[in-house]
Amino acid sequence: MNQPASYYRQQVAWGEPDPALGGARRAVLRVPLDYRRPGERDIEIGIARHTATGRRQGVLLVGPGDDLGNSGLALLAALLGSLPERLTEAFDVVGFDHRFMGASTPVFCDLEPEERFWVFHQPESFDAEMRYQATVAAKCSAGTLDLLAHANSRNICRDMDVIRGVLGADRIDYLGYSYGTYLGAVYGEMFGAHLNRAVLDAICSPDWVWRGLFTDFPANGERALNRWCRWAATQHATYRLGTAGPEVRAAYDAVLAAVDRGEPVTLMGFPLDRTLARLIPVGILNSEKAYPVLADILRHLLTQADLDAGSMEFLARMFGEPKEESGTVAQLAILAGDALWPRSPALYEQDMLKAAGEFPWTGAALNGIKAPAFWPVPPAEPATRLGTESGGGSYLLVAADEDMSTPWAAARRMHEVLGERSAFVTVADTAHHRVFPFYGNTGLNELVCDFLLTGSTPGPDHVCPNPDRLLEPAASGRG
Amino acid sequence: MSGARTAGDVPAPPAPIRWSEAGDGSQRARVPVPVDHRDPDGPAIDLALVRYPAAGPGARRGVLVVTPDDPGSSGIAMATQVRAALAPSVAAVFDVIGFDHRFSGESAPLRWGLDQREIFWVFHESESFAEEVRFQAELAAKAAGHSVDVLPHITTRAIARDLDVVRRALGEERVCLLGHNYGSYVAAVYCELFGDRADRVILDSVLSPDWVWQGLFTNFARNCEATLRHWCAATARPQGPLGDTPQQVRDAFDEVLRKAGAAGVTLPGVPVPLNEQFLRVLTMMLLSSRRSHPALEDVIRSARSGAPLQPGTQQLIGSMFAVPRDASTAAAQLAILCGDAAWPRALEEYEAAVQDASGFMDRALLGVKAGAFWPVQPLEPPTVFGPRETGGVLLIQAERDMFTSDAGARRLRGLLGDRSRLVMLRDVIEHRIFPFAGDPRVDAVAQEFLMTGRLPEADVVVGDDSYEDGEVRR
C-alpha cells in the first residue's frame, strides 16, 4: 500500500458492537505518517461507527474530542447516548481518535502527573515555570519526533478524508466541538468538495492558532468565574458563600491565596496545589449544569462541610477518568505543530506579568511561557488560511453566549471568516460549553437536526431563547 | 540525498565561474548554491570565493581548497593566511581557493542582531543556572525568529555539498583540501560524501566525529583544565613570582580568579577591569599556545601585585581583542554547532554538570547552551566515517593541542583506514600546524604529499628532539 488511492480503498474489519461505545463497532485503518511520502511508514487510526437505525441518509463524522487531546471515541460514546433519534436513524455516526492518541498509534512519554497539567500550570516564578514547561516539551519530544513531527491539524484532516474514503462516502456531514470545530473548518478548506454540512459548536477563533487560544482565555475566565459568583450569591441560603457576586469571589480568592502561600488546603483529603485550585473550577465552569458542584466544593473548602453526593460523583468522574497521557502528548505536538510559537523568554515574562495583574485567576498561567515555545521542530507546513474561495461545505455555527473556553466572540470571528457558507446561532444566557445536544435546549436541538437532515438554516443571527437559564443576564459575553 | 553517485545521476554542470581581479593578486567570484541540496532548483544563495592562482613557475597541478577553520569564520581570510604561509614551491603549482561557507561572511550572512554577550555565547556563564537557561533560550529564540526556515540547511554536510558545487563550477575532476580545526571536519565530511572527488587531503588540528558538537564543549573543558595544570607545573620554580610548587601557582591563579569574581581585577595598562568570566576566557586563550604561556604568568603576577604588565603581554592581549567578533560570524557558528546534531534537552543534565564543575572552564563550557532549545532538528544524522577512495588523507596533530585534543586525530585516523596517515607532534601545545608553525619535518611531509601524493610509510611521531621546551626549534 503506497499510493494515496490505496489508502482510500483499504478494507477494514469491523468489530462486534461495543457496549462501551453505545453499540458502535470499532475498526482500525492505516494512513500515511507523512502524506508527502505515502507508503514509507503508516500509522493506525482507530474509528468506530454506529450505523443508521433507519433509512440511511449519509455519514455524520464526529470530530475528535471536546478539547484537543481528548478521545474522539469517548465523545462518540457520550453523543450516542444524547443525539436525537432523528439523527441516529438517518446517519451512520462515526467517531475517531486523532493521530497519536487513544486508539490511533498513541505516543507515551512517562509524564509525571503534574506534567500533564501544563496548559493550566500556575507559575511559582517565571524561571521555575520556564524550567517546568521546557521539561514537558523535552519529555514529550524525546524519541518521539519521528512520529510527532507529523502531528498537525492538516494531517488530521487528511486522515479524516481517508476515513471518508474508507466509509465509501463521496461527501460527509460533520459535527465538531471546540478543537473539533477548527478541524471542521480546515477540512472544508482542504476537502471542500467532500464536505456536505458541518455543525460547529463551541467554536475556536480562526485567529487563535494557537497561542491565541491561551492568551484569550484569562479575560473570559474572569468573566465566567464572576458569572458563577453572581449565581452562587443567589444561592446564599444553601451555600452561604455570600450575598453578592464580589463577596463570593472574595471567598474563593481567599482560598486561592492560601493555596498560593503554600498552606495546606485539601479537597476530600486530596491536597490542592496552585494549579489544581484553578483547574478544578475551570473544568466545572465549562458545564453550567455543574455550577452547584463548585459552590459545594467552595463551601467544603471554607467550612469542611461534607460534600454532597452529586459533587462526590462529579469529582470522582473528573479524577477517575483523567485524560489519557497520549492525549496530552498529542495535544502539545499539535498546538506546536500548526504554527510556530514565539520563543523569547523575555516576551513571555512580560506577558505573564501583565496578565497576572489584569487577570489574577489564570492570567499568569496562560500568558506565561508554554511548552510549545520549546518544541524542537517547526511546523511542517503553514497554518491553513480559512475562508478562501476554494473551501466548501455549508456550516451551522452554534455558540453559547456566555461560553468561557470558546467565547462567543471567537465564534463570531469564525462566522466572519467563513462568510456566506455559514449560518450563526446563539444560545442565550448560558455558559455551557458544547450546547448541542448536551445542554438540552429543544429549540437548538431541532434546528441542528433540521440543518443536518435538510440543509435548512434559521434566519441570520438567530437566537435560541433559554427557558432553563440560571440567572438574569448581566453584561453578556456578546458584549 | 547522499554523495554516492549512480550512473543516472549526473548533475547539470554549473555555469563556469567568472573571476574578477581583486588587485592584490587574488581573484574573487560568487557561485550560487541551493539552500536545500535536496531541491537543486529551489532558492539559492551565493557563496563568496577567493582564488590565488598558481604563481608559477612549473605546471599547475590543480586546486587546493582551504576550508574555513571555525564555524562561521571567514574561509576567505583563512585561505589568504594559508597562501601567505605556504612554501613557494607549493604556491607555484596550486590554485589556492577559499570560501566563506553558507550563511557566513560574504555568503548570505545571518543578521540576528546578537549583542556582545550573545556573540560570546560559547563561553557565557551566569550567576545562576536559571539565568543562563534564559540567556541561551533567548539566543535560540533569535535564531528561530530570524531564520527558522534556513536553519535546517546550515550544517556541515550542506557546506560539504556546496564545496562540491564549487568543484564542479571550477571544472575540476578532483580537488585537494586543507582544513584546520572545524575545517578538518568539513574536509573529512567532504571525503565521506564525495569519496574520489577528494584528491590529496590534509586535516590539521583534527576534530573527532564523536564530538559533534556537545562533545566538543566537554572535551574542550577537560583540555583547558589539563593545560592549566601543565602550565602550573611549568611555571612553578624556586623564587618564581607565583610560587615554587605547582600547587602554589594554582593557588595564586585561583586567588586572582576569586578576586575577579568578587570585585574585578584591574591590570595596569588594560583599560577595563577584568571580571571572572573574562579572566577565564583570557586564561584559556593564553594557554592555547606554549608561546603565550609566559604572558599568562605575567597577567597573574600583575593582577596580584599591581605591577605593570610587560610590554609584550600588553601587546598580545591587545591584539587578541583588537578584532571585534562579528555578530553574523557568531550566528553561523551557533547554527552549525547547534544544528549538526541534536543537543540534549533535559536541563537537569546541564545543571548537574555545572554543579559538579571542577575545571576552570567547566561552568561555561558544560552549562546549558542554545542547542538545548534549538527550534529545528537535524535533517540527517551526523556523518559516519570510513575508508574512502580519496587521493590520501594526511592528519597533522599536536599532542597537547588544547582546542582539539590528540584523541580526535587518533580516532579519525582509525576510522579513515589505510589511505590515511597521522603525523603527531609529541608533547606539543599548538593549534593549526601546517603551514603556520614552521616545523620543518611536518612541512616536509605535507609538501611531499601535496606535490607527489605520497604519504609516509607509516604514522609519524615528531619527537622531542626537534623541540625545545615544547617550542619548535628553528
List, for residues B160-180, the tens digit of each pLDDT value.
999 999 999 999 999 999 999
Distance of alpha carbon A124 from alpha carbon A119, whole angstroms: 15
Strand partners, A101: A104
Testing the interface with B: which of A34, A344, A351, A377 to mutate, by most B Cβ within 10 A?
Answer: A344
Q: How many residues does chain A have?
A: 479
Closest among A330, A362, A224 to A287, alpha carbons compared = A224
Q: B140 and chain A: CB distance < 8 Å anywhere?
A: yes
> For residue B49, is pLDDT > 60?
yes
User: Mind spelling out the 3-state secondary structure of A361-384?
Assistant: CCHHHHHCCCHHHHCCCCCCCCCC
Domain assignment present for residue A476? The answer is: no
In a domain, residue A327? The reply is no
Residue from B334, B347, B373, B379 to probe the interface with A (highest A Cβ count within 10 Å): B373
Residues 312-371 on B with a CB inside 8 Å of A are 342, 345-347
We report the CATH number of the domain holding residue A184 as: 3.40.50.1820
pLDDT 10s digits, B337-390: 999 999 999 999 999 999 999 999 999 999 999 999 999 999 999 999 999 999
Q: B4-8, B295-299, B403-407 — which is least confidently predicted?
A: B4-8
pLDDT in the model for residue A324: 81
Q: Which domain holds residue A255?
A: 109-143+211-306+341-377
- What residue segments make up the domains of chain B, in order of their start? 22-109+151-211+381-472
Is B336 within 8 Å of B151 (Cβ atoms)?
A: no
Contacts of A376 in chain B (CB under 8 A): 342, 345, 374-377
Q: pLDDT-based confidence at B199, cuts 50/70/90?
A: very high
Q: Which of A377, A401, A433 is the last residue of a domain?
A: A377
Question: What is the number of alpha carbons within 13 Å of residue B129 lying toward its C-beta?
Answer: 17
Residue A35 within a domain:
yes
Q: Are A345 and B130 in contact (CB < 8 Å)?
A: no
- Report, in this order, helix, strand and coil percent for chain B, each rounded to 5: 45, 15, 40
pLDDT at B468: 44
B92 reaches A (C-beta below 8 A)? no
Which of A130, A137, A145 shows the shortest C-beta gap to B134? A130
Cβ–Cβ below 8 Å for B130 and A342: no
Other CB atoms within a 10 A radius of the CB of residue A346 amount to 13
Query: Does residue A264 register a pLDDT over 60?
Result: yes
Split into its structural domains, chain A has a count of 2
Subunit contact A376:B342, Cβ cutoff 8 A:
yes
Nearest beta carbon to residue A131 from set B141, B342, B347: B347
Q: How far is CA B237 from the centre of its chain?
A: 34
CA distance A248 to chain B (A): 38
Tell me whether residues B130 and A135 touch, CB distance under 8 A: no
Q: What is the reported pLDDT for B184? A: 98
CA distance A361 to A227: 14
A220 and A265 in a single domain? The answer is yes
Q: Are residues A188 and A72 in the same domain?
A: yes
pTM of the model: 0.93
Would you list which residues of chain A are within 8 Å, Cβ to Cβ, of chain B?
127-128, 130-131, 134-135, 137-138, 141-142, 145, 149, 340, 342-346, 374-378
Q: Do residues A251 and A294 both lie within one domain? A: yes
Q: Tell me, yes or no, if B111 comes closer than 8 A to chain A by beta carbon.
A: no
Rounded to a whole number of angstroms, the distance from the CA of A149 to the nearest CA of chain B is 10
A222 and A285 part of one domain: yes
- Is A321 a member of any domain? no
Q: Are residues A367 and A390 in the same domain?
A: no
Q: HSE on the CB side for A247, CA within 13 Å?
A: 12
- Residue A138 has its nearest CB partner, among B137, B141, B345, at B345
Q: Which of B130, B140, B148 sits opposite A378 (nearest CB)?
A: B148
Average predicted confidence (pLDDT) for chain B: 92
pLDDT of residue A471: 87
Chain A residues lying within 8 Å of B145, measured CB to CB: 342-344
Residue B450 pLDDT level (bands cut at 50, 70, 90): very high
- ipTM summary value: 0.90
- Tell me which architecture the domain covering B22-109+151-211+381-472 has in CATH: 3-Layer(aba) Sandwich (3.40)
- Of the candidates A134, A141, A345, which has its C-beta nearest B347's C-beta? A134
The proportion of chain A whose per-residue pLDDT surpasses 90, expressed as a percent, equals: 91
